[in-house]
């Protein structure tokens, strides 16, 4: 079964701790994306990667970091520098031949 | 200026009736595309339909159709024969630039659709 997995679905952390969100895809897609969604709002782009070992900042990259060492994996680290990390985080991927982005189930991060 | 505007925060529709969800966009790029996604309460984003700026015909996918009016910069989603399972948040999104430009999406604020039995 091809798709995108994000784990865990719910994540709780104390303020001041870094936390890494997992995103794995077995769709053989080149491009991968991280979005953040706050309650009652649309998605905003954090980072994206078009190929392995390359990634670009999106609209709200401050306080986040990513890596793309493998085609299948695009982990997102929420650092202690992110002022308001509590949000719903969605990962997506895209085949280079289409425009459609496929989304994972998301991770809901709560920082207290 | 907002790139994607969805002016209807919430809408009700009677089961089996059609409903139109509004979306207007702002871009100066001649190459762009408009998407609609559905987000149920579980949170995942489900792709519904896509319209490219150079597409001659309005896109259709089953009960979904996109009313694309380029001169007015609008890309409204029409859902025919609404079903109870259509109750969800709906997001309009846009990509700008040619296909190799990263394809980042800009999302609107969403419309919550509620289907009444």
| Alpha carbons B50 and B54: distance in angstroms, whole number | 12
Q: How confident is the model at residue A93 (pLDDT cuts 50, 70, 90)?
A: very high
- A-B CB pairs within 8 A amount to 62
* Nearest by CB: B104 against A48, A103, A106: A48
Nearest CA among B54, B55, B50, B52 for reference residue B65 = B50
Q: What is the mean pLDDT of residues A1-11?
A: 88
Give the E-state strand segments of B15-105 in sequence order. 19-21, 24-25, 32-39, 46-52, 60-61, 64-69, 74-79, 88-96
Could you read off the pLDDT of A29-71 as tens digits, one per residue? 999 999 999 998 999 999 999 999 999 999 999 999 999 999 9
pLDDT at B1: 66
* Best A4, A43, A60, A61 residue to mutate vs chain B (most B CBs within 10 Å): A43
Count how many residues are written for chain A: 112
| Distance of residue A108 Cα from the nearest chain B Cα, in angstroms | 9
pLDDT at B62: 97
Mean pLDDT by 10 residues, chain B (117 residues): 91 97 95 96 94 94 97 97 97 85 86 97
Counting Cα atoms < 13 Å in the Cβ hemisphere of A36 gives 21
Q: How confident is the model at residue A99 (pLDDT cuts 50, 70, 90)?
A: confident
Give the E-state strand segments of chain A in sequence order. 4-7, 10-13, 19-25, 31-37, 43-51, 54-57, 64-66, 76-78, 87-94, 102-103, 107-111
* Nearest by CB: B102 against A43, A48, A88: A48
Q: State the residue for tokens 């200026």.
A: B1
Could you read off the pLDDT of B1-11 as tens digits, one per residue? 679 999 999 99
């Amino acid at each position: 079964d091809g798709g995108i997995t994000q784990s865990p679905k719910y994540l709780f952390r104390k303020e001041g701790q870094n936390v890494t969100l997992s995103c794995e895809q077995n769709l053989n897609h080149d491009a991968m994306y991280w979005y953040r969604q706050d309650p009652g709002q649309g998605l905003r782009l954090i980072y994206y990667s078009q190929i392995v070992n390359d990634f670009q900042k999106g609209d709200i990259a401050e306080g986040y970091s990513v890596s793309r060492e493998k085609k299948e994996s695009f982990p997102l680290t929420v650092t202690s520098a992110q002022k308001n990390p509590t949000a719903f985080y969605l990962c997506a991927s895209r085949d280079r031949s289409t425009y459609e982005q496929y989304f994972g189930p998301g991770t809901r991060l709560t920082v207290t | 200026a907002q790139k994607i505007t969805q002016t209807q925060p919430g809408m009700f529709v009677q089961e089996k009736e059609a409903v139109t969800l509004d979306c207007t966009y702002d871009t100066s790029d001649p190459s762009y595309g408009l998407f609609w996604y559905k987000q149920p309460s579980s949170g995942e984003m489900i792709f519904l339909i896509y319209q490219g700026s150079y597409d001659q015909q309005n896109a259709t996918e089953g009960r979904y159709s996109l009313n694309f009016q380029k001169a007015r910069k609008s890309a409204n989603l029409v859902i025919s024969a609404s079903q109870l399972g259509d109750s969800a948040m709906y997001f309009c999104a846009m990509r700008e630039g040619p296909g190799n430009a990263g394809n980042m999406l800009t999302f609107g604020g969403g419309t919550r659709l509620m289907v009444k039995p």
